[in-house]
Every structure is written in structure tokens, then in C-alpha cells.
Structure 1
Amino acid sequence: MISRAEVVRTAESIAAIQQDDGGVPWPEGHVDAWNHVECLMAMSVAGLTEPVRRGYAWLARHQRPDGSWPMKLVGDVPTEPGGESNHAAYAAVGLWHHHLVTGDRGFTEESWPMVKAALDYVSGLQTERGEVVWERDAHGRAATYALLTGCSSIHHGLRCGVLLAERLKDPQPHWELAADRLAHVLAAHPEAFADKSRFSMDWYYPVLGGAVRGRRAYELLEREWATFVVPGLGIRCVSDEPWVTGAETCELVLALDALGDGERARALFADVQHLRHADGSYWTGWQFANRRHFPHERSGYTAAAVVLAADALLGLSPGSGLFRDIEGGSVSDPEVCGCAAVRVPPVEDSP
């Protein structure tokens, strides 16, 4: 387990790459709203107030009238102008986390219109069945399919938005309904989503986002544990490549922590520390067949995932339960709803 001082050093490595305009870029140089918010949350844990404020100012400045953000921005120029639904939803996760960590109601109230516009954009992309399609393109056309990982993150965003609305006494019941419908389709209707099952995120994200918890969550994780987990190194990004990645491993740590499986969470967190650089930043991944870092970069979003996982395990901030305290409720369980759901047989010997 790393120390509090080492966690702060990792957050400082994110602040070191923040641009003058407040954006936190990928190593390639572009900024997207989801990873940007993840980095702001990590810096909030470390108490880096000024970089966080500049980061939220960046979000407010680049939000479009429909509530979305461009998929990719280089400076002020959208290089991919479509608006992803999960990018928009993550603004609510970031603001709720900031409120939990700082208790700054004034800042929360100031930022609330941004989150309201973002989640209304998201709920406007929900289908009749309940999934949320992944984008609206630059011409305003909604996509024809949904992504399981993205929808799992959207579920978390909607739940955080409901909590913000309750805290500010500005109820948004349509978000709660949207979250309930989305939780159900995530748990019970895998046919609603494009097949991206080679990616580890599609495996654990329904647990991380709170749509699947309890016995069903343990069964879900057990089914592909041997496929994705590489003992001593972390988890694969994709099932068919000898490549472990720090961000995905730390997100699985958060999912395990949310289930109360602290032993495996701590073990995986320890495993991924081989990616730590001397300056506190983290390599994105490790290709263990060639024994090389791949890609040859240290990314802010990887460092952010490490900080959030450390916070969950060590309780460093009042926001440490950000993922643990969000759940979809019984509506997500096909055994409760009684619909003609696709059911996967339970795995024997679940923890």
C-alpha cells in the first residue's frame, strides 16, 4: 500500500501536465471531458484546490448549449465534435465528489446548471428499452447503438446527479427514473449493447457503476476473473493481448472495494505498483510478453485511477465512498422484475 504522501505526489504529477487553460490532456495532447473530470477528482483528494478550480472552469467554458462537450478538444478546437453521453454524465460524478470532499456548497450551486444541462442531454439519448446510446454526432443525429461500459458510467452519473439534486433541494425525478431503467437493462439485457466483450471494462463496469451489486456482482466478476486478471501484474485491457493496464486494474480495485472484497482489492492495488515512476506518475501499461511499457507513456488518467483507488482503500478523503455508496437497487435484478430477461447461470463457488 502506498502512503498518503505518495498519493499526493501522484496527484501532483497530474497537476504538472495540466494546460494553461485548465484542461488535463491525454499524452497525445487532446482533452476529453470524462478523463479530465477523473483527473480533477484525483487532485481534489490531494487538496490541490487551484488546479481543480481551473479544471472546472475549463468544463464550464467548453460545454455546449445542448449540455454536451466535444469528444476531443485540442486547445479550443474540437477535433472530434460529436458529443458522447458518458462524457456528459461524468460531470455529475465529478461535482458530487467535489462536494463530498470539500463541502463547498457555494461552488456546488455555481456548477449545478452545468450538471443539469449535461444530464438532460444524457437522458435525451435514452431509448425506450432503457439503454443510452453512446453519442449524438456533430449534425445532431443520435447513434444507433449503446455501449455497456459507457452506460455503466452513465448510471453512476445519474445517481450522483440525483444526490446533488436532493442536496440542493432541486429534485430531478426524471433522472432517477432514467437511472432505474438503465440499471435494469445493464443487469438483465446484455443484448441491448454492442459486443465489446474482449475489453475488460465491459466485464467489471456494471459493478463499478453500481448497477449490479451483491451476489450477482460476485458471479459476474468470477466468470471472467481468469480471463483478465494476470497474477502479480494487474488486469488485461483486452482479453487477447499480453498487456496489463493501470487504469483498468485500479477501476477493478474500486469495484471490488464497492463489494466489500477488500482482500482482493488490496492485492490488485499492490500488483499494479510496478507501473509507478519515481516522480509519482504511472505508466499506462505493461506488455508482459515483450517486457516493455506499452504505450511508452505515463498518463494522467492512469494516475487519477490510482489516486481514487488509494482513497477508497485508505479513506483519505470524505469522497472515498464515491463508488461504494452508489447502487442501482432491486429494480436492476431480473429475478425481482419478472421480465423475460436473458439469464446467465450462476458461477459455482462464488466468494
Structure 2
Amino acid sequence: MNLSICKQRQKIAVDVDAVCRLIAATQLPSGEIPWSTGDKTDPWDHVEAAMGLTVGGYLEQARRAFIWLRSMQLADGSWFAAYRRGIPEDRTRETNMSAYIAVGVFHYWLITGDRHFLESMWDTVRRAIDFTVSHQRTNGEICWAISPQGKVDPMALLTGSSSIYMSLKCAMAIADELGMATIPWADAYKRLGDAICNRPYLFNMTKSRFSMDWFYPVLCGAVTGEMAGGRIKRQWKKYVVEDLGVRCVSDQPWVTVAESSELVLTLAAMGDMEKALIIFNWLSDHVFDDGSFWCGFTFPDMTRWPEEKITWTNAVVLLAADALFHLTPGGRLFSHAWWAENGHPG
């Protein structure tokens, strides 16, 4: 494949403004960004949607999204797992969902250099990370959730813990920029990374059917170098459907745009731009008439499912495009080389 031609094609194929218009149109006046019009909102996907807006230059809308999240933070630093128009719908408190605000805030900072925004969000990030780290266990894994009744579920999830690893990395980078101490986080970060890399038995293995359990340890930067390459290669055929994209679950005929885009991010983070570009190219036909992307489709019948236009799916397409085409300084967010070169953890 001629990579320069592929790159040019994708710059045309992805309408950044159309994708951002979809996200912005779905956003509520409060700043909350549901999955789709009339749907629920969860903290992790809300942050992802805000990151997409930031890539597209919709900075006012992105700031409103972060301010809404700040206003909804609970006393212990967490958020509920789901809201609908600001009303809690699921009062579970997930560690992964709560920590992810650090990634969104750092991403906004990378793109805008807005120090006032960074300072205004610091206390929110600090409290969220403290909540998450407080649920780390002796071997380094982090319990995934606290039930509505207040009971800690001791189960640890590999995808969720990998996301927390990325959140900790971004939180420490924010703290470093603002001159704040993060020694307790550094220890938690090190122990979590060791668990992800060396103790797979600590995590719920029933989730290994999901492609995110395959690539998230690499995407977050816990697994790098030859180990990352080997991990991706070993299970490539299990999850990747040639010329279509990435299965959400290994034993189901359902390809999703979000997982495919996240694999693009993962490959770009490793520096394998050739494979990343090829997979990104597969997504270009899966768009609505307004330029926004499908959520997913079944194969071989190629039935679009579900029909909703999902905000966070569209956002991660923009993150993948940014990693490939360097649309903004945020395109380096997941790059293993960038984190290593800039003296940050990872």
C-alpha cells in the first residue's frame, strides 16, 4: 500500500467538523454528553466525547463538558456509573470511570496549553485519583467498583485497570506541570503496571473474550516494546476481521468502529503506523449521510447495529485520526515514545 496515498485519502474521508457537530448537537445545555440523543451518560464516555470535541476545536463545548463533570463529583471523589439528564441512574461507583477525567484534562492541556483550565480542574483530578488509588489491593490490582449499597467488589478488570494506568500517568504529568507532589500515586502506578504486565491471574479472565482486554495493556503503555509487539501479534486473528475491523467480542460476528479505532490508537502508540493506517482505512465507508460514524455492524450480512449515532464512538475516531495525521498536539497522548522522551512515567 502507498502510505502517502492512504494518508491523503483519510484526510478527505474523515469530516472532523461533521463528527464534532454530531457530538455538540447531542450535548445537553448543562454540558452533559449522553451516548446518543435521549440516552444515558457515563463518566468515561462523557470524557471521551469531550476529547473528541477538543480535537475538532470545539473548545467551549469541551470545557462545558468538563465543568459539568466537576459539578457532579461526589464527596469521595467518584461519580455514579450512569446519569440521565443529570439524574443518577446507576449508583455504582466505578474506579476506572472516575479516574479517566485525568486523561481528558491532560489531553485538553496538550492541545490548548490553557494553564488556567488545568489549575481549575486540579482538585477534581486529585480527588478522583485518590478515590481510585484507595481501592488498590496488595498485589497492585484495583477493585473495579463500589455497589450502590457501599460494598466494594474485589474483582479487578484488565481493561479497566489498564485505563486507570493511563489515568495515573496523565494525573502525574498534570501534577508535575503544576508542581504538586504525587509520591503515593507513583507507587500505585508502579504496582499496577507490574500487575498488568506480570500477574494476569489477578484479573477477571472471563473478560478475555473482549478485544479491549487484548490491546488495552498496550494502548495504556503498561506493555511496550517487544512485549507489546508479541501481544498484538499473538491474538491478531482472534479479533481482527480482514478488511472490516475489530470484533468487540471474539466469538461474536460484530465489528465496532470504537474498538477498531482504539486498535488504530494502539498501533500508532507502538509506532506501527503502517498497520494503523490500513485499519483506519477500513472504517471510511461506515458513515451516515451526515458524515458521522456508525457504532458497528454485523458480518457477513453487513447489517448496521445499533442504529444510534454514538458520541464516544465518533470521538475515538477523531482521536485515532489525530494520532495518525497529527491534527493537534494531543495526537501524541498515547505514544509510548513520546512519554519516554519527555521524562514522564511509562
Displacement, 1:76?
Answer: 2.3
The structure-2 alpha-carbon separation of the partners of 1:2 and 1:16, relative to structure 1 and needing over 3 Å to count, comes to farther
Counterpart for residue 20 of structure 1:
29
Matches within 5 A, 1:255-266: 255-266=266-277
Q: 273-282 or 14-23: which moved more?
A: 273-282
Aligned-residue RMSD, C-alpha: 1.6
Counterpart for residue 306 of structure 1:
317
Question: Are 2:178 and 1:158 equivalent residues in the alignment?
Answer: no
Instruction: Measure, in 1, the Cα distance between the counterparts of 2:136 and 2:11.
Output: 42
Instruction: Measure, in 2, the Cα distance between the counterparts of 1:201 and 1:156.
Output: 14
Instruction: Measure, in 2, the Cα distance between the counterparts of 1:26 and 1:39.
Output: 9
- Asked if 2 retains the 8 angstrom alpha-carbon contact of 1:186 and 1:206, the reply is yes
Question: Are 2:11 and 1:3 equivalent residues in the alignment?
Answer: yes
Q: Letter of the aligned partner of 2:267 in structure 1?
A: L
Displacement, 1:14?
Answer: 0.9
Instruction: Measure, in 1, the Cα distance between the counterparts of 2:183 and 2:246.
Output: 38
Question: Are 2:61 and 1:51 equivalent residues in the alignment?
Answer: yes
Counterpart for residue 341 of structure 1:
none
Counterpart for residue 204 of structure 1:
215
Counterpart for residue 115 of structure 2:
105
- Asked if 1 retains the 8 angstrom alpha-carbon contact of 2:19 and 2:291, the reply is yes
Q: Letter of the aligned partner of 2:273 in structure 1?
A: G
Matches within 5 A, 1:88-237: 88-195=98-205, 196-237=207-248
The structure-2 alpha-carbon separation of the partners of 1:83 and 1:326, relative to structure 1 and needing over 3 Å to count, comes to farther
Counterpart for residue 83 of structure 2:
73
TM (norm. structure 2) is 0.92
Counterpart for residue 240 of structure 1:
251
- Asked if 2 retains the 8 angstrom alpha-carbon contact of 1:233 and 1:274, the reply is no
- Asked if 1 retains the 8 angstrom alpha-carbon contact of 2:294 and 2:307, the reply is yes
- Asked if 1 retains the 8 angstrom alpha-carbon contact of 2:32 and 2:86, the reply is no
Displacement, 1:61?
Answer: 1.0
Instruction: Measure, in 1, the Cα distance between the counterparts of 2:330 and 2:300.
Output: 37
1:33 to 31, 34, 43: 43
Counterpart for residue 249 of structure 1:
260
Q: Letter of the aligned partner of 1:76 in structure 2?
A: G
Displacement, 1:280?
Answer: 2.1
Instruction: Measure, in 2, the Cα distance between the counterparts of 1:281 and 1:58.
Output: 24
Q: 233-242 or 27-36: which moved more?
A: 27-36
| Helix, strand or coil at the partner of 2:153 | coil
| Helix, strand or coil at the partner of 2:83 | strand
Instruction: Measure, in 2, the Cα distance between the counterparts of 1:256 and 1:144.
Output: 32
Displacement, 1:293?
Answer: 0.5
Displacement, 1:224?
Answer: 0.8
> How many residue pairs align between the two structures?
330
Moved over 3 A (4+): none
Instruction: Measure, in 1, the Cα distance between the counterparts of 2:285 and 2:312.
Output: 17
Q: Letter of the aligned partner of 1:245 in structure 2?
A: T
Instruction: Measure, in 2, the Cα distance between the counterparts of 1:86 and 1:280.
Output: 31
Deviations 1:174-231 (A, max 9, x none): 1111111111110111100001111001100000111001000011011110011111
- Asked if 2 retains the 8 angstrom alpha-carbon contact of 1:209 and 1:326, the reply is no
Displacement, 1:141?
Answer: 2.0
Displacement, 1:326?
Answer: 4.3
TM (norm. structure 1) is 0.91
The structure-2 alpha-carbon separation of the partners of 1:93 and 1:118, relative to structure 1 and needing over 3 Å to count, comes to same
Deviations 1:223-262 (A, max 9, x none): 1100111111101000111110000000000000011100
- Asked if 2 retains the 8 angstrom alpha-carbon contact of 1:159 and 1:326, the reply is no
Indicate the percent of aligned positions where both proteins have the same amino acid. Answer: 42
| Helix, strand or coil at the partner of 1:319 | helix
Instruction: Measure, in 1, the Cα distance between the counterparts of 2:339 and 2:71.
Output: 29
- Asked if 2 retains the 8 angstrom alpha-carbon contact of 1:14 and 1:281, the reply is no
| Helix, strand or coil at the partner of 1:16 | helix
Counterpart for residue 336 of structure 1:
none
Deviations 1:158-187 (A, max 9, x none): 000000000000121111111111111101
Higher helix share: 2
Instruction: Measure, in 1, the Cα distance between the counterparts of 2:242 and 2:128.
Output: 39
Counterpart for residue 271 of structure 1:
282
Instruction: Measure, in 2, the Cα distance between the counterparts of 1:313 and 1:149.
Output: 23
Instruction: Measure, in 1, the Cα distance between the counterparts of 2:339 and 2:43.
Output: 21
- Asked if 2 retains the 8 angstrom alpha-carbon contact of 1:96 and 1:161, the reply is yes
Structure 1 alignment gaps of length 5 or more: 333-351
